[in-house]
Amino acid sequence: MSLISAANVTKDYLAGDVTVSALKGLSFEIAPASFVSFVGPSGSGKTTLLNLIGCLDKPSDGKLTVADTNVLNLDRKQSASFRGNNIGFIFQDFNLLPVLTVYENIEYPLLMVQSAPASERKKRVTALLEAVGMIDQKGKYPDQISGGQKQRVAVARALVTNPKLVLADEPTANLDHKTAYMVIDLMKKMRDEFGTTFIFSTHDQKIVGEAEVIFTLEDGNLLDRHVEGGKRNG
Amino acid sequence: MGNLFKIAIRNLLRYKRRTLLTASLITVGVVFVLVFISVSGSFKNMMIGQITDSMLGHLQVHRKGYVASIDNLPLNLNLKAGAIARLEAILDKQSEIEAYSPRIKFGGMFSNFVETTNIRLVAVYPDREFRTVPLLPLRITSGGKTLNRGEILIPDLLAKGMKVKIGDAVVVVATNQDGSVNGKQFKVAGIVEGITGPGGRDGYIHIEDATELLRMEKMEVSEIAIRLKDFNKLNPFNQKLEGLLSKELNQQDKPIFELHTWEKLTPFYNIARMIDVMTFFIKLMLIAIVLISIMNVMIMAVYERIREIGTIAAIGTLPGRILNMFVIEGFCLGIVGAVIGDIVGIVVVLVVNMLKITFNFGQQKGLLLQANIDPMDILVISVTVIIVSVLASLQPAFKASRMEPIKALRHV
């Protein structure tokens, strides 16, 4: 059974008076615990597709099911609740909250989204801090740590709610190669440990090779679905 | 909820200078309002105290129709002996009354045997009058603080104009109800300081001298002035007494008495009202200051944190919780401004009192300004500031909560 199922998904935007088709009838399926990459040049529709899967936006047409939920049927509040319980996000610019410490940033979704009890929060945040190697930095604020460390915190934050799916839009774009591989390795490790599906978009051909399933997009069309073993690991 | 406060406070501290400026603006507004209310309130209370305690009393009872003709001091509208007895029987039973004083008010001619001029006189039982208007003895600037039969207290301007001194003999001539004229010689026992307002330049004689001068066969009085034990209970007591007096009817089944509080008897009530209106507008200004400053700072806060709003919305924070985050920021700003404003306001009022500022009110010179802050005023102002702060935050907070995460995340 697939975690994500897209059937003829389209997305049209109005740019002034002109309608732009960002996605043109995409159909695909993604299995649970996959490590998937969407690749393609700028404007190919990667981010748009991630936004649709992440319930940040709605398809103009077609059917998109994520974790057995038709995302078209969700209203604004239901979308937020669905995201909070099922999806983790990793952003290109890390998007950590500057007024919260590393610990508090990771704790935030448990506290403000899931209202988890304090003991559970402490257990899960500490486990993830250790898993991403940031336990020594837990009291620091985002402006006191490096870009790679920020992205590790972002990975931990994305995983803290035990989501079925983590979406990462260009997660390594602002990192050097060494750090980028570290982050990708961390994401894989987390996938192996927690069984979470990771979907990321990237331009970087070396990073693309780390994915086990690669979807290639161009001009809003799905050109190719390629199954890799994960180059370095395979 | 504690975590929302923690995040709100950290966000406020993130822009320390802006937060400080906004809180300072609210603080200044609160201080200004508190000081204005306390100073104007003390001035108003002093003014009311001067008028009621040295002349009017808190309430006055007249025969029905008297007040409409009060400028003429009409003797034919005096309360007759029977009515006085009925009225005193009612007043004696009222535990709220500290004292009451019957008065005969009339106009006459005043002569020092060289010159003659007109005079308005109030005839009283001195002891009862002094208990009803306890500041009256303080107005007697020369002579003894008493008034015996055959003596007269004359207003200071008249004494100066007529060159009359203590101990001088003077004559008062008055027309009685029948139109006949009678005169009586008095000894000047004291000079009364004039005060601003109707009746503020009246002379005083003993009531029994007045009955003689006016050839009254039985006691009649123009009014009975009443002093309450607690001035703050004026309105409820006024209603109660009005109810009791309305049952007192004459042979035509019409009310005998009319009751007025001090407010209806002096134009200074309008000044007191003007002070209240000014206070109201000052409070409105405070509300405007708080509203605009908080709204401004919160709009800026939302604009600067669009990507953060997008992030927390994307990871599943519900719109209501995002709204709360921003409203709590405004709430915290309001609390800080109100609390610091209250403290500074109290200190300023204490300093004002320590400076012993004096001012003049009409003829009275050197009245000491004693500003007091009513705890209820502090509470009302603080609560108002906090409520307005929350209201001012609502629009930006609502905007933040309604933001589309996808657009917010794209914001640069």
One-character DSSP codes across B102-163: EEEEEEEEEE-SS-EEEEEEEEE-HHHHHHHSTTHHHHEEEE-S---TTEEEEEHHHHHHHT
3-class secondary-structure state, position B75: helix
Judged by a CB distance cut-off of 8 A, whether residue B319 touches chain A is yes
Query: Do B248 and B199 belong together in one domain?
Result: yes
Domain range enclosing B381? 2-51+270-410
**Is it the case that residue B310 has pLDDT exceeding 80?**
yes
Q: By three-state DSSP, how is residue B410 classified? A: helix
Say which residue the tokens 């009531």 belong to: B207
Q: How far, in Å, are A5, A151, A158, A185, A190 from residue A132 at the CA level?
A: 30, 10, 12, 10, 9
Residue contacts between A and B (CB atoms, under 8 Å): 67
H or E element, residue B347 = helix B319-354
- Mutation test of the interface with chain B: which of A47, A96, A97, A121, choosing the one with the most B Cβ atoms within 10 A? A97
How deeply is A168 buried, as exposed, middle or buried, from its count of CB atoms within 10 A (0-12, 13-18, 19+)? buried
Q: How far apart are CA A194 and CA A196, in angstroms?
A: 5
Q: What is the pLDDT of residue B198?
A: 65
Strand partners, A23: A11
Same structural domain, B235 and B319: no
Please state the rounded mean pLDDT for residues A148-175: 88
Q: Is-contact B122 B204, C-beta < 8 A?
A: yes
Q: From its phi and psi, is residue B150 left (phi > 0), alpha (psi between -120 and 50) or beta?
A: left
Q: What is the mean pLDDT of chain A?
A: 88
**Identity of the residue numbered B396:** P
Chain A residues lying within 8 Å of B313, measured CB to CB:
80
Q: Is B117 strand, coil or helix? A: strand
Name the residue with tokens 């303080």.
Answer: B138
Residue B143 — left, alpha, or beta (φ > 0 → left; ψ -120 to 50 → alpha)? left
Instruction: Kindly report, residue by residue over B12-40, the tens digit of the pLDDT.
Output: 998 899 999 999 999 999 999 999 999 88
Residue ranges of alpha helices (H) inside B52-125 are: 81-92
| Beta carbons of B318 and A80 less than 8 Å apart | yes
Sign of the Cα pseudo-torsion (B96, B50, B137, B211, in order):
negative
**Range B200-220 burial, b when 16+ CB lie within 10 A, else e:** bbbbbbbbebbbbbbebeebb
Say if the Cβ atoms of B315 and A98 lie within 8 Å. no
What tens digit of pLDDT does each residue of A36-77 get? 999 888 888 888 999 999 999 999 999 999 998 998 888 988
Q: Which secondary structure element, helix H or strand E, spans residue A9, and what is its range?
A: strand A4-15
- Specify whether B162 is located in the same domain as B283: no
Q: Which of A14, A75, A76, A151 to mutate to test the interface with B (most CBs of B within 10 A)?
A: A76
| B341 part of a folded domain | yes
Q: Which of A76, A93, A113 lies nearest to residue B315, judging by beta carbons?
A: A113
Q: Taking Cα atoms as reference points, which of B268, B283, B252, B201 lies closest to residue B29?
A: B283
Mean pLDDT, residues B332-338 taken together: 93
Residues B294 and B378 in one domain: yes
Cβ-Cβ contacts under 8 Å, A80 against chain B: 313, 316-319
Q: Tell which residue, A160, A178, A206, has the closest CA to residue A39.
A: A206
Are B317 and A95 in contact (CB < 8 Å)? no
Are A67 and A42 within 8 A, CB to CB?
A: no
CA distance to partner chain B, nearest, from residue A164 (Å) = 13
CB contact under 8 A, B315 and A57: no
Q: Find chain A residues with C-beta within 8 A of B301's C-beta.
A: none
Number of domains in chain B: 2
Residues 6+ apart with CB under 8 A from B52: B58, B133, B227, B231, B262
Q: Which residues of B touch A95 (CB under 8 A)?
A: 307-308, 310-311, 409
Handedness of CA B238, B244, B246, B251 (dihedral sign): negative
Phi, psi of B256 (to 5 degrees): -85, -40
pLDDT at A233: 43
Q: Helix A177-194 crosses helix A147-159 at what angle (to 10 degrees)? A: 20
Given B201, B221, B255, which residue is the final one in a domain? Answer: B255
What are the pLDDT digits (tens) for B90-104? 999 999 999 999 999
Distance from CA of A154 to the nearest CA of B (A): 11
Residue B166 in any domain: the answer is yes
Per residue in B137-171, pLDDT tens?
A: 888 888 888 899 999 999 988 899 989 999 999 99
Q: Which of B15, B304, B315, B412 to mutate to test the interface with A (most CBs of A within 10 A)?
A: B315
Residues B7 and B75 both lie in one domain = no
Contact list in B for residue A85 (CB cut-off 8 A) is 316
Contacts of B312 in chain A (CB under 8 A): 97, 108, 112
Is residue B297 one of the residues assigned to a domain? yes
B8 lies in the same domain as B127: no
Question: How much is the pLDDT for B48?
Answer: 85
pLDDT of B75 reads 84
Query: What is the Cα–Cα distance from B95 to A75, expressed in whole angstroms?
Result: 69
Contacting residues for B27 by C-beta, under 8 A, at least 6 apart: B337, B340, B341, B344
pLDDT for residue B364 is more than 70: no
C-beta of residue B54 within 8 angstroms of C-beta of residue B133: yes
* pLDDT on residue A231: 52
Of the residues B231, B255, B279, the one at which a domain ends: B255
Residues A198, A203, A205, A206: what is their CA dihedral angle, to the nearest 10 degrees? -60
Contacts of B15 in chain A (CB under 8 A): none
Partners of B307 on chain A (C-beta within 8 Å) are: 93, 95
Residues B192 and B102 in one domain: yes
For residue A234, what pLDDT band results from cuts at 50, 70 and 90? very low
Asked if A56 lies within 8 A of B405 by C-beta distance, the reply is: yes
Mean predicted confidence (pLDDT) in A77-105: 92
State the distance between the two ends of chain A, measured CA to CA, in whole angstroms: 25
The residue of chain B with its CA nearest to that of A163 is B315
Tens of pLDDT, residues A187-196: 888 888 888 8
Are the Cβ atoms of B316 and A81 closer than 8 angstroms?
yes
- Give the pLDDT score at A229: 57
* Structural domain boundaries in chain A: 4-227
B11 touching A (Cβ < 8 Å): yes
DSSP state of B365: E
Confidence check: pLDDT of B121 > 80 = yes
Q: Could you count the other beta carbons within 10 Å of the beta carbon of residue B411?
A: 13
**ipTM of the modeled complex:** 0.89
pLDDT tens digit sequence for B344-357: 999 999 998 898 88
Whether A230 has a pLDDT exceeding 70, the answer reads no
Contact A62, A25 (CB under 8 A): yes
Among B341, B344, B326, smallest CA distance to B389 is for B326
Return the H-helix or E-strand segment holding A83. helix A76-86
Across the strands, what pairs with A199? A36, A167
Question: How many CB atoms sit inside 10 A of residue B399's CB?
Answer: 17
In angstroms, the CA A30 to CA A198 distance is 10
Instruction: Tell me: do B42 and B71 sit in the same domain.
Output: no
Q: Are residues B34 and B73 in the same domain?
A: no
Among A51, A88, A111, the residue with its CB nearest the CB of B3 is A111
pLDDT over 70 for what percent of chain A? 97
**Cβ contact B210:B121 at 8 Å:** yes
For residue A14, the cross-strand partners are: A19
Q: Are B12 and B19 in contact (CB under 8 A)?
A: yes
C-alpha–C-alpha distance, residues B285 and A103, integer Å: 44
In this structure, is residue B56 part of a structural domain? no
Shortest distance, CA A228 to any CA of chain B (angstroms): 30
In a shared domain, residues B238 and B383: no
pLDDT of residue B196: 65
Decide which of B221, B255, B289 is a domain's last residue: B255
Query: CB B312 to CB A108 under 8 A?
Result: yes
Whether residues B236 and B90 fall in one domain: yes
Both B81 and B215 in a single domain? yes
Report the amino acid identity of residue B402.
R
Distance from CA of B27 to the nearest CA of A (A): 26
Residues 6+ apart with CB under 8 A from A16: none
DSSP 8-state class, residue B253: S
Strand, coil or helix: what is B167?
coil
B296-324 b/e with 16+ CB inside 10 Å = b?
Answer: ebbbebbeebbbbbbbbbbbbbbbebbbb
Judged by CB atoms closer than 8 Å, whether chains meet at A83 and B315 is answered as yes
Q: Give B252-290 pLDDT, tens digit per residue.
A: 888 899 999 998 888 888 888 888 899 899 888 888 888
Give the closest of A51, A93, A99 to B10, CB-based: A99
For A81, nearest residue in chain B (alpha carbons): B316
Q: A4-227 — its CATH code?
A: 3.40.50.300
